[in-house]
Chain A
C-alpha cells in the first residue's frame, strides 16, 4: 500500500486537478478568500491604525492579493500597446504605489465597519464575490469583488463599490491625463512619479 507507481500518482494528481478547478469548490474558495481579505482590509483601515501603518499594510494586501499586471494593463487601456516595455515596467511600479496611497486614504471611511460576504457567481473567466458593508450612518454599500485565477490562485482584478468600478475610474483618469498631454505616456509617468514621491 505504501508504494504507488508513478502513473498512479499522476492519475491521482490529474483527478485532483479536474475536480478542484471547476464548480462550487472554487466559488467557495473565492468567498472564503474575500471574507478573509475583507475583514483584514477593514481592520487595516480602522481608526486605531496610524496613517503610515495603514499604507504599509494596505501595500502588503495589494501586492499579495491583487492581479497587479492585469489591473495595470487594463487601466493604461489602449496606451499599454503604444508604451515601450520600459514604460510599461515603470508604469506598473508607479501605478502600484499610487493605488496603495490613494485608496488607503479613500477607503479609510470604511474602517471598522461590519463586513460580510453575501454571495458569488461566475462571470466568464472571473468569479464575482458580492459583499456588503454596513455603514455607521445606517445605510449599507454593496462591494463586488472580481477574481481571476490566472496565476493559479484567486487574485482580485477589480472592485465595484456601489456599482462603481475602481478599475474603470482609474482608467478614465489616466486616459484623461495622457490625452491632455498630447497622448504622451511619459506625462502620466511623470505625474505619477511626482504624486507618489510627494506622499513620502
Chain B
C-alpha cells in the first residue's frame, strides 16, 4: 500500500506485472525445476533482495528510526490511523468482491466512524468500540477467486511479491479514490507524500522484528519467502479476520507507542504494505 500510489510506479508495475505474468504462463516447465519453492527466478530474486537490503539499511531504516525518535508517538499513531483510513475504500471494495459481507460491513462502519468521530481518520475510534481493522487487497481477491500465486518475485524496493499480488497492487492503485482525486486535480505530490509516509510508517513498526529474523536466520531470503507465501495464503483463507470481534478496548492508554508492535506473521509484507 505504500509505493504503488505513484501513477508512474503503477504504470511501470503494470507493464512489469503483465510481462512477468506472460512469462509465467508460457514457461511452466521452468517453475518445476526449483523443488517446491516455485522460485524459478531465484538467482535474480536473490540479487534484488540483496540490493533491497542495502537500500533498507542505508535509507529506509535510518529514516524509520529518525521518524520514531523525532515524531511523538501519538502523532505516529495518528499518521498510521489516517493512512489506514485512507485505505478503507479499497479494502471495502475487495471485501465486497470476495463476498465477505461481514467484513464489508465492518470496513464501512470503520470508515464512517473514523472519518467523522475520528476526525478525518486521525483516530481509530472504531477499534475501541469493537470493530478492529483488517487488511484486504486485490491480490487476496484474485486468490479467493482461485488464481494461482505464480512464481515468487522480489521487486526492487517493494520486496516480496508474485504475479498475482503484483496485478493486485496495480488494480488497487487504480481503484483508490484518494489517488483518483489527487490525480484529477493534478496533485500527484499528495499521492507521493502518502506513499512515502505510509512506507515510513510500516517500516518503523518492523525494525526490531526484521532485525531479529535477519540475525537469527541461516538463510534470510528463504525465511522471508516462506513467511510471505504462508501469510498471503492465510489472508486468503480469511480465518483471522472472521473471528468474533473482541471486546472494546477501554481507556485511552490501551494503544501506546507503536514501536515493536508487529507480529512476525506480518513481517513478509513489511517492505511494502499492509499496515495492520
Contacts and interface: CB of A to CB of B under 8 A. Distances in A.
Interface stretch (B167-175, B178-186, B212-220): B212-220
Given A106-B209, A132-B243, 6 more contacts: A138-B124, A138-B249, A142-B239, A163-B265, A172-B225, A195-B218
Nearest to A102: B216
B203 interface: no
Contacts of B69: none
Interface stretch (A24-32, A84-92, A149-157, A173-181): A173-181
B33 to A, nearest CB: 11
A140 B261 contact: no
A141 B265 contact: yes
A108 interface: yes
A135 B218 CA distance: 28
B258 A177 contact: no
A13 B53 CA distance: 61
B243 A142 contact: yes
Given A161-B263, A163-B230, A163-B233, A177 B208 contact: no
A109 B258 CA distance: 12
A177 B234 CA distance: 25
Nearest to B134: A139
Contact of A137 (B237, B240, B258): B258
B226 A163 contact: no
Interface string A128-151: 000010111111111000000000
Contacts of B246: 132, 134, 140
A9 interface: no
A147 B198 CA distance: 39
A21 interface: no
A179 B37 CA distance: 11
Given A102-B216, A138-B127, A107 B264 contact: yes
Interface in B218-276: 218-219, 221-223, 225-227, 230-231, 233-235, 237, 239-240, 243, 246, 249, 254-256, 258, 260-266, 276
B265 A161 contact: yes
Nearest to B247: A134
B89 interface: no
A169 B133 CA distance: 26
B132 interface: yes
Contact of B234 (A162, A172, A174, A191): A162
A160 to B, nearest CB: 8
5 contacts: A137-B261, A163-B239, A175-B35, A179-B35, A192-B218
- B219, B222, B240, B263 interface centre (most CB from chain A within 10 Å): B263
B146 to A, nearest CB: 19
A173 B219 contact: yes
Interface of B: 35-37, 124, 127, 132-133, 205, 208-209, 212-213, 215-219, 221-223, 225-227, 230-231, 233-235, 237, 239-240, 243, 246, 249, 254-256, 258, 260-266, 276
Given A138-B249, A168-B230, A173 B264 contact: no
A176 B263 contact: no
A179 B218 CA distance: 13
Contacts of A179: 35
Contacts of B212: 105-106, 108
Contact of B255 (A118, A137, A165, A180): A137
A135 B240 CA distance: 14
A139 B132 contact: yes
Contact of A177 (B37, B219, B237): B219
Contacts of B216: 101-102, 105-106, 195
A197 interface: no
Interface string A80-106: 000000000000000000000110011
B263 A136 contact: no
Contacts of A101: 216
B237 to A, nearest CB: 7
Contacts of A140: 132, 246
Contact of A173 (B127, B208, B215, B218): B218
Given A138-B254, A176-B37, A176-B219, A162 B263 contact: yes
